[in-house]
Structure 1
Amino acid sequence: MTATDTPAWPQCGHLDAGGHCRGHRVAPYTACLAHLGSAERAAHLASLAPGADLDHRGTPFTQGLLDALLAPLRDPASGRARVGNAAFDETRFTGDAELDDIDFGGSCSFASAVFDGGLYAREVRTEGDFRLAAARVAKDVWLDDTDVGVDAWFYEARITGTLRFCVREVGGTAMFRGVTCAAAYFSGVRVCGIASFNGAVINGEADFAGAVFEDGATFETARIAGRACFDGTHFHRSRACFNGADIGGGMPFAEAHFAAEATFEGAAIGGDLTFTGARLESGVDFRRTVFRRTARIGPLVCPGTVDFSHAVFETALTLETAAREVRCRQTRWASTAALRLRHAAVDLSDAVTEFPVTVSGRPRPFVSPHGEAMAEPELLTDLPVRITSVTGVDAAHLVLADTDLTDCLFVGTVHLDQLRFEGRCRLPQPPDGLRWTRRQTLAEERHWRGWAPAPSGADPHEPATLAPVYRQLRKALEDSRNEPGAADFYYGEMEMRRHDTTTSRGERTLLGLYWVLSGYGLRATRALAWLVLAMTATVLTMMLWGLPRTDPDPVSTGTTDGRRITLTTRKPTPVNPEGPYTKRLSASRFEKSLRVVANSVIFRASGQDLTTTGTYVEMTSRLVEPALLGLAVLAVRSRVKR
């Protein structure tokens, strides 16, 4: 209501320069309390008794007039004033207004009142509401050691100075929506209903240390220019909502308690968030939050999900969190970041890393500033940090350390060949059994082979898609001098190429032979087994058909012509062996065959006379067996090279 509106109560008949006084007429008189004559005022005050209702809406007040009004309402024994309902709406106080030792049996309302000074209430109790909605206060508002029986209404109040709401208890709702003040202090207050600070503007710091919000609290679109302290604050039954809030400084939540979810969606935070000793019973939502100068978040122990999706970190950050899940979908880091996590499943899908970002698993619990290990009662302490996806991430600045990559999705990652693995990063293995070779694989291959189900709503990727993923990861491990790990990814690449239906049949056949003979040059036992098998077959072939019946002796023939003798020496063609096969399998023939085969493995001629069959068998063995030996040596080297 403006000064030109007609008030909704009987108006004072006093005229001043601005027109009629807006004060409530004191019955049976025609003027308000401020404009009554001395005798009339004294008569009215004498008619008041403790517990009387007061209605002085629109009346101009001074502290002297207020004291005179309350004097007849005070109990002589206790010195406390007893008032029923008090209505001071649209009053104008000249100077400070002090309310001391007053019990209101109903409500006390200063809605739309104007205070040229401050408002100071001490030891005030109301059975009903306490209202300061839309009031204008030129200085401070202090409520010390005060109790509000039902609701506290400060909706749209404009306070030039500090708001100190040190109320012991608010029995109902605390409504501070749209309030404006220089600083705010709510330390130790207990609000039995919901507390709303939506749209509040606090131009300095705000202190809620030790406050108890039985039905939660909302700070949506609130703006706090300085630090907002919530140390020891309790949010019961309902969530703590900071959606869209703009906090200029830090937000400490040491020893705080959250019985429901805490949400910071779309907020802007200018300082650190500390949760040392805080107890959370649900998740924390930081979606679309902008962290302007936040250097540290945590240590945060959360039994639910901590969601940083679409959040922006503008400065270097250290994040310490123990949670079931940490989501960083489309999160942007504009500076370096170190994510030190425990137990969490981490989703980095489409995250933007402009500077190095390290995600590491922490083996031991976080430590408080007092050197004590922080308890993790709601978490499964045997679970490692698990990366579930890096899809869409530019991995050039990403470092994964001591994490479990069993379910991690890599397809769609950019610069995957520059991804760095530090410490022990666990990758999935094929199923147990003799059919599958033990090696490190990718979750996408497990989905394609049916070893594990694909994520909900996603189709398994084909080998043509997985082959370049394996190739880039192989290069990443080679660059970090992890040759054994790179060998596993090379094996996976070759497997995908062998199963790729878009590859030519000839190449797939060649890859199939390479796999059968030596596991792509990575399985020494397979190559050695084929070598032993080939040597055994060669030995048997030599014993049965390759060695002649007997070693042919040279034969010399010649002519004599006077004093000259001409000799011609020739070696008879080896005769194929005859007789039963069992007689050919003798010890002497085995020794000769073994010598031939052993020499063929190292490209040496044995000098043994062979049949035509034996000659061709030796030629073949001198080609095949050294190759198998070389594959075995190559496989061993790939496993021991660093």
Structure 2
Amino acid sequence: MTPATPGPPSTVPPAWSHCAHGAAPATDPVGCRGIRVPGHTACLAHLGEAERAAHLGDLAPGADIDYRGTPFTPELLDQLLAALRDPGAGRPHIGVARFDGAAFSGDTWFTEVTFSDTARFDWATFSGNTWFAEATFSDTARFDRAIFSGNTWFTGATFSKVAEFAGATFFKTAQFNGVTFSGITRFVGAAFSSDVGFVQATFSSDAGFAGVTFSSDTRFVGATFSGDTRFVGATFSGNTWFTGVAFSGDAQFGMARFEVASSLGPLACGERLVLDGAVFQQPVTVEIAARQVSCARTRWASTATLHLRHAELDLRDAVFEYPVLVAARPTPFPLPGSADSLPETELSGRDPGVRLASLGGADTAHLALHDIDLSGCRFAGAVHLDQLKVDGWCTFATTPTGWGRRLPWWWSRRNTLTEEHHWRVRAARDPGRATALGWAPPPADAPALKPAAVAALYRQLRKSLEDGKNEPDAADFYYGECEMRRHDPRRPRGERVLLTAYWALSGYGLRATRALAWLGAATAVTITVMVLWGLPADDPKPTTTGRQVAVGQEVVLTTATPDPVNPTGPLTGRVTAERFEKALRVVINSVVFRSSGQDLTTTGTYTEMTSRLAEPVLLGLAVLAVRSRVKR
């Protein structure tokens, strides 16, 4: 961007009594807009030599001055500053300074000038290079709508109170390196057309950069922001460096545009860093340590890697057009070109892990998560969860452990979604007790999902885990899916009864101990029945009978085994070691689909048939459950 060509002179006179030098009714009815010097009809620039010298001679260091609208040449400015120079300090000293609308032609030097009261440069124009290096502004400093056409240096300047640069335009390099802003700072709507630097700048109060346009390289390396900071709607068209930046309060980058930035950070934020609605148009690496990082509605138009620490992350409605990786950084970020790490003073004592709060409304087909805490993540509303990549040590919510309220059943620990926690609290007869047992209560803005919707979430995420070869955690999500189907009143009753039986017998084929317990119980019952009623009193012995038809002829014999005789007598008398060993052999053979060959009573025969059907199924369910836990 180049300085704009001046337009025709304004026909609207200024609010002060102005010089009007050079006014022409046809072409410039206003003329010179400089305020008249007291006691004269001309501004400082158009006073006669003797009158100007007399006026400047009346000035003393620390004097209040008013030169609104006055055109300054470098020579005229030098004369003014010489009149205000403090001999003791060796630098110009000004009280109230009013340069609103002043026009500075050529190079402008305010180096080391002290402004002990309000300094106003609103709408001022600086045509050449401008220096405010080492200047001191002890009160409010205003540069609203000022135009800097050349290079500008505020290096090392000190702003003790409010610093206003709203709408200011910098056409060439602007350097604010090492500047101290002790009061509220506003660059709202400012435009930087070339390189800009705030290296090692200090902002001790709130800072506003909303709507600022950074058209070239921008450096905030090592800057410190003690208050809340707003870059809302800012545009970063060139390379951008926020390396080593520390935000003690909130940092707002909502709706900001990063057009070519290849990195953001490493930076630290003691509170909340907001990137809601921000756009990243090129491959970027984001490195942030913060309490909260909000990326709702962000648009990632290229590949990106987000390395985070200490943060609770929100990715609601984010748009991932290319692969994006979100990973927790276990160690502090190193500072480029230094042996030091990014200071995390505001975050000391916090868990360095990263917790994902929500993926609602996001298309997760291109998203990968690595070492992220998903125990509180809300997945409802996200699409393509089956393509979400969950790698590393990602953790989910778990079920509470303890005895159920209505059934004497111990809750086994498994991975769950937070949506199941919310559903169980809402569906409980006593939500308070459900919460006390360990089910997480739903927040006020959480949607009330039906079991079918929660089952769909489990199904999609199970597919994602299976694709990642994480079979054990996928098994937990299959359990959760079946639980939601079992509790879904819209499912056919027969299906829910079958699922209930499947759950009770083996935890949907995922609880080996439950299946083995049932197998052990069934085996014990079968053995007991066999010992008491299934085995005959004595093993039947084959009996041979026959008859001789005639002397000298063939003898016809028949061998038969008599039917087993049911045992009689007291039940306790039937319990012997021999009968127990026989019953055990019968049951063990039944479990593996084999016939024992033991003679049995009618009761024993039917018991063996039932055992050969039920007990191998229970054994198979136990084996299936073990396999689901060890498969990779």
Matched residue type, 2:300: W
Shift in alpha-carbon separation, 1:594–1:390, aligned structure 2, 3 A: same
Give the conservation status (yes or no) of the 8 Å contact 2:226–2:248. yes
Of 560, 571, 585, which aligns to 1:581? 571
Q: Name the counterpart of 1:616.
A: 606
For 1:427, what is the secondary structure of its paired residue? strand
Shift in alpha-carbon separation, 1:207–1:60, aligned structure 2, 3 A: closer
For 2:155, what is the secondary structure of its paired residue? coil
Q: Structure 1 residues 225-234 or 590-599, which shifts more? A: 225-234
For 1:404, what is the secondary structure of its paired residue? strand
Give the conservation status (yes or no) of the 8 Å contact 2:313–2:355. yes
User: How does 1:555-566 map onto structure 2 within 5 Å?
Assistant: 555-561=543-549, 562-566=552-556
Shift in alpha-carbon separation, 1:483–1:19, aligned structure 2, 3 A: closer
Query: Any idea what the Cα deviations from partners look like across 1:544-596, whole Å, max 9, x if unmatched?
Result: 11111111111222333444233322221111111110111111110110110
Query: C-alpha separation between the residues in 1 aligned to 2:508 and 2:17?
Result: 93
Query: C-alpha separation between the residues in 2 aligned to 1:4 and 1:324?
Result: 52
Shift in alpha-carbon separation, 1:85–1:452, aligned structure 2, 3 A: closer
Give the conservation status (yes or no) of the 8 Å contact 2:66–2:97. no
Give the conservation status (yes or no) of the 8 Å contact 1:61–1:92. no
Q: With the length of structure 2 as denominator, give the TM-score of the two structures.
A: 0.87
Query: C-alpha separation between the residues in 2 aligned to 1:296 and 1:23?
Result: 49
Query: Any idea what the Cα deviations from partners look like across 1:130-159, whole Å, max 9, x if unmatched?
Result: 41x223344332211211222222212233
Of 206, 226, 230, which aligns to 1:263? 230
Query: Any idea what the Cα deviations from partners look like across 1:36-83, whole Å, max 9, x if unmatched?
Result: xxxxxxxxxxxxxxxxx7857346559xx76994489669xxxx9769
Query: C-alpha separation between the residues in 2 aligned to 1:91 and 1:579?
Result: 128
Shift in alpha-carbon separation, 1:184–1:622, aligned structure 2, 3 A: same
Of 436, 443, 446, which aligns to 2:418? 443
Matched residue type, 1:310: G
Shift in alpha-carbon separation, 1:537–1:89, aligned structure 2, 3 A: closer
1:240 and 2:207 aligned: yes
Of 403, 423, 446, which aligns to 2:372? 403
User: How does 1:88-99 map onto structure 2 within 5 Å?
Assistant: 88-92=67-71, 97-99=76-78
The alignment of Structure 1 onto Structure 2 pairs a total of residues equal to 594
User: How does 1:346-425 map onto structure 2 within 5 Å?
Assistant: 346-369=313-336, 370-379=338-347, 380-425=349-394
Of 199, 208, 216, which aligns to 2:167? 199
Q: Name the counterpart of 2:17.
A: 8
Q: Name the counterpart of 1:309.
A: 276
- 1:171 deviation in Å? 2.3
Shift in alpha-carbon separation, 1:206–1:4, aligned structure 2, 3 A: closer
Q: Name the counterpart of 2:106.
A: 139
Q: Name the counterpart of 1:50.
A: none
Matched residue type, 1:523: R
Give the conservation status (yes or no) of the 8 Å contact 2:255–2:276. yes
Query: C-alpha separation between the residues in 2 aligned to 1:19 and 1:256?
Result: 46
For 2:544, what is the secondary structure of its paired residue? strand
- 1:216 deviation in Å? 1.9
Query: Any idea what the Cα deviations from partners look like across 1:194-232, whole Å, max 9, x if unmatched?
Result: 111111121222211111122121111111112321112
For 2:504, what is the secondary structure of its paired residue? helix
Matched residue type, 2:95: E
For 1:596, what is the secondary structure of its paired residue? helix
Shift in alpha-carbon separation, 1:193–1:67, aligned structure 2, 3 A: farther
For 1:304, what is the secondary structure of its paired residue? strand
Of 428, 449, 466, which aligns to 1:461? 449
Q: With the length of structure 1 as denominator, give the TM-score of the two structures.
A: 0.86
1:324 and 2:309 aligned: no
Structure 2 unaligned segments of length 5 or more: list them: 1-8, 404-409, 426-438
Q: Structure 1 residues 270-279 or 204-213, which shifts more? A: 270-279
Query: C-alpha separation between the residues in 2 aligned to 1:55 and 1:563?
Result: 168
Q: Name the counterpart of 2:472.
A: 484
Greater CA radius of gyration, 1 or 2? 1
- 1:494 deviation in Å? 0.7
Q: Name the counterpart of 2:140.
A: 173
Query: C-alpha separation between the residues in 2 aligned to 1:571 and 1:72?
Result: 143
- 1:17 deviation in Å? 12
Matched residue type, 1:411: A
Query: C-alpha separation between the residues in 1 aligned to 2:25 and 2:459?
Result: 90
User: How does 1:275-314 map onto structure 2 within 5 Å?
Assistant: 275-314=242-281
For 1:503, what is the secondary structure of its paired residue? coil
For 2:345, what is the secondary structure of its paired residue? coil
Matched residue type, 2:413: R
Give the conservation status (yes or no) of the 8 Å contact 1:151–1:174. yes
Query: C-alpha separation between the residues in 2 aligned to 1:344 and 1:21?
Result: 59
Q: Name the counterpart of 2:529.
A: 541
Shift in alpha-carbon separation, 1:97–1:622, aligned structure 2, 3 A: same
Query: C-alpha separation between the residues in 2 aligned to 1:500 and 1:18?
Result: 83
Give the conservation status (yes or no) of the 8 Å contact 1:54–1:87. no
Of 127, 144, 160, which aligns to 2:95? 127
Matched residue type, 2:82: I
Query: C-alpha separation between the residues in 2 aligned to 1:245 and 1:303?
Result: 24
Query: C-alpha separation between the residues in 1 aligned to 2:33 and 2:155?
Result: 37
Give the conservation status (yes or no) of the 8 Å contact 2:69–2:103. no
- 1:3 deviation in Å? 7.8
For 1:325, what is the secondary structure of its paired residue? strand
Shift in alpha-carbon separation, 1:637–1:5, aligned structure 2, 3 A: closer
Shift in alpha-carbon separation, 1:181–1:600, aligned structure 2, 3 A: same
Of 476, 493, 497, which aligns to 1:509? 497
Give the conservation status (yes or no) of the 8 Å contact 1:599–1:606. yes
Matched residue type, 2:419: E
Give the conservation status (yes or no) of the 8 Å contact 2:163–2:181. yes
For 2:499, what is the secondary structure of its paired residue? helix
Give the conservation status (yes or no) of the 8 Å contact 1:464–1:496. yes
Give the conservation status (yes or no) of the 8 Å contact 1:57–1:88. no
For 2:620, what is the secondary structure of its paired residue? helix
Of 484, 504, 519, which aligns to 1:531? 519
Shift in alpha-carbon separation, 1:222–1:13, aligned structure 2, 3 A: closer
Query: C-alpha separation between the residues in 2 aligned to 1:506 and 1:23?
Result: 94
For 2:131, what is the secondary structure of its paired residue? strand
Structure 1 unaligned segments of length 5 or more: list them: 26-31, 34-52, 107-121
Give the conservation status (yes or no) of the 8 Å contact 2:74–2:104. no
Matched residue type, 1:252: R
Matched residue type, 2:527: V
Give the conservation status (yes or no) of the 8 Å contact 2:243–2:265. yes
Query: Any idea what the Cα deviations from partners look like across 1:168-188, whole Å, max 9, x if unmatched?
Result: 211222211112223322111
Q: Structure 1 residues 444-453 or 551-560, which shifts more? A: 551-560
Shift in alpha-carbon separation, 1:143–1:395, aligned structure 2, 3 A: same
Of 267, 287, 302, which aligns to 1:335? 302
Query: C-alpha separation between the residues in 2 aligned to 1:579 and 1:518?
Result: 39
Q: Name the counterpart of 2:42.
A: 57
Of 506, 511, 527, which aligns to 1:518? 506
For 1:302, what is the secondary structure of its paired residue? strand
Shift in alpha-carbon separation, 1:387–1:202, aligned structure 2, 3 A: same
Query: C-alpha separation between the residues in 1 aligned to 2:298 and 2:307?
Result: 16
